[in-house]
């Protein structure tokens, strides 16, 4: 096993565990009940996945699916749910900027004075760390929850970058996937923060649960790598069934369209439409992002129509010419078998070129 592969696999999963433990700590501090530390047991699933991956895959990833990302979602999402639900009873008396100034300056001089007469530097470091942790606990809960949301989405992208890739995915495909994840994470963060910050929404617990359910549903696209990979298909299925051939040729594009319509922009549009239509909640940002969701859904449907018409035109042209329509993601042997008669004709043509008519030599020079 390569050293860098092992290091990346372990460090990334360690970051996932540490971040999920911070979320559990915040839930315990907010609820003031030690029983919520039981949420930390979910990290045992991630530890088990780490051992199995190191043993059977030598630390590398799987095709189409990332178990580490999926288990990280299982570990951190319950903590964020509890923080957002409890958020409705939290009121912050200070501005976030003032809290940050207090955290950076307050009581550190006291820690230096208290540790000045102590022996060694270790005691001074411990005292400073205790003061720092105590000051972090005094930060407004809304700031903590937003910070956990932000670091959660950033860690999803960075963690997917650091995780060792499998042999089925290339570096070019990984770079495309990461760029897509950055835009997706920004849209999801905006949806959660913009809708849950509305005062009328905070008064309705059923609406909060519905928004969090849609937010959780949108997170399920991160463990999947289908947006940059084509699904393999059998030659017999692709040659006889039109839907199978369409899925084979445009699997990545169809997955992107499906994610936008059913996982991200479609559900986001429905939630925002309910807020404006049923609950009569209007603000400038809500109207803007609703229009943006409508535009994205319309463009995705237009893209689906273009792909379908282009595929239909290609199939009709090949059927008229009598050619076998093969899938570009099939193995080379399948395509060679489908067009073997054409290659044989070409070989015969090269082996036996047409005879040229012999010309009588000219006698006049």
161-203 residue pLDDT tens: 998 887 677 888 888 889 999 999 999 999 999 999 888 898 8
Structure letter (DSSP) for residue 118: S
Q: Would you state the pLDDT for residue 340?
A: 47
Residue 82 structure tokens: 């509890």
Q: Would you state the pLDDT for residue 241?
A: 67
What average pLDDT does range 71-88 have in this prediction? 89
- pLDDT category, 126, cuts 50, 70, 90? confident
Sign of CA dihedral 86, 87, 91, 93: positive
Contact predicate 323/295, CB 8 Å? no
CA atoms within 13 Å, Cβ hemisphere of 239: 13
Most confident of 26-30, 75-79, 96-100, 312-316: 75-79
Neighbour tally for 343: CB within 10 Å: 10
Angle ∠(112,117,121) on CA atoms, nearest 5: 65
Neighbour tally for 356: CB within 10 Å: 6
What average pLDDT does range 49-72 have in this prediction? 88
CA distances from 184 to 152, 215, 260, 297, 313 (A): 13, 12, 10, 15, 33
What average pLDDT does range 236-253 have in this prediction? 69
What average pLDDT does range 103-108 have in this prediction? 46
Q: Would you state the pLDDT for residue 225?
A: 80
What kind and span of H or E run contains 311? helix 284-321
What average pLDDT does range 260-279 have in this prediction? 94
Structure letter (DSSP) for residue 93: -
Long-range contacts of 31-36 (CB under 8 A, 24+ apart): 31/82, 31/86, 36/82
Residues whose CB falls within 8 Å of the CB of residue 76, separated by 6 or more in sequence, listed in order: 16, 19, 20, 23, 148, 152
pTM: 0.76
Rounded-to-integer distance, Cα 57 and Cα 34, Å: 37
Residue 126 structure tokens: 């411990």
Q: Which neighbouring-strand residues pair with 224?
A: 65
Contact predicate 233/334, CB 8 Å? no
- pLDDT category, 240, cuts 50, 70, 90? low
Cβ burial, residue 165 (10 Å; 0-12/13-18/19+): buried
Q: Would you state the pLDDT for residue 265?
A: 94
Q: At what angle do helices 242-249 and 251-262 cross, to 10 degrees?
A: 90
What average pLDDT does range 295-319 have in this prediction? 89
Residue 345 has pLDDT above 60, yes or no: no
- pLDDT category, 276, cuts 50, 70, 90? very high
Q: Would you state the pLDDT for residue 313?
A: 86
Rounded-to-integer distance, Cα 115 and Cα 107, Å: 12
Structure letter (DSSP) for residue 20: H
């Amino acid at each position: 096993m390569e050293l860098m592969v092992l290091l990346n696999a372990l460090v990334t999963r360690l970051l996932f565990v540490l971040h999920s433990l911070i979320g559990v700590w915040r839930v315990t501090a907010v609820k003031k009940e030690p029983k919520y530390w039981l949420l930390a047991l979910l990290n045992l699933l991630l530890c088990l996945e780490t051992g199995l991956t190191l043993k059977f895959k030598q630390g590398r990833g799987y095709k189409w699916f990332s178990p580490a990302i999926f288990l990280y979602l299982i570990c951190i999402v319950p903590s964020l749910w509890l923080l957002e639900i409890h958020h409705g009873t939290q009121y912050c008396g200070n501005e976030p900027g003032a809290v940050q100034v207090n955290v950076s300056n307050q009581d550190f001089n006291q820690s230096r004075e208290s540790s000045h007469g102590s022996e060694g530097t270790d005691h001074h470091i411990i005292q400073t760390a205790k003061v720092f942790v105590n000051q972090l606990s005094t930060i407004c809960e809304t700031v903590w929850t937003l910070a956990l949301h932000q670091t959660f989405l950033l860690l999803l992208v960075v963690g997917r970058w650091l995780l060792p890739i499998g042999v089925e995915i290339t570096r070019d495909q990984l770079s495309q996937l990461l760029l897509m994840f950055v835009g997706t994470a920004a849209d999801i963060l905006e949806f959660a923060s913009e809708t849950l910050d509305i005062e009328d929404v905070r008064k309705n617990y059923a609406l909060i649960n519905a928004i969090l359910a849609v937010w959780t549903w949108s997170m399920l696209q991160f463990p999947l790598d289908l947006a940059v990979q084509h699904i393999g298909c059998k030659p017999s299925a692709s040659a006889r069934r039109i839907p199978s051939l369409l899925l084979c040729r445009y699997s990545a594009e169809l997955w992107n369209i499906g994610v936008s319509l059913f996982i991200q922009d479609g559900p986001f549009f429905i939630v925002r439409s309910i807020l404006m239509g049923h609950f009569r909640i209007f603000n400038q940002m809500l109207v803007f992002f609703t229009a943006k969701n409508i535009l994205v859904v319309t463009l995705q449907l237009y893209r689906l129509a273009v792909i379908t018409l282009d595929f239909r035109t290609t199939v009709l042209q090949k059927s008229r010419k009598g050619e076998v329509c093969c899938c570009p993601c099939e193995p080379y042997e399948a395509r060679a078998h489908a067009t073997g008669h054409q290659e044989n004709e070409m070989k015969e043509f090269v082996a036996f070129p047409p005879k040229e008519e012999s010309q009588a030599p000219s006698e006049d020079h």
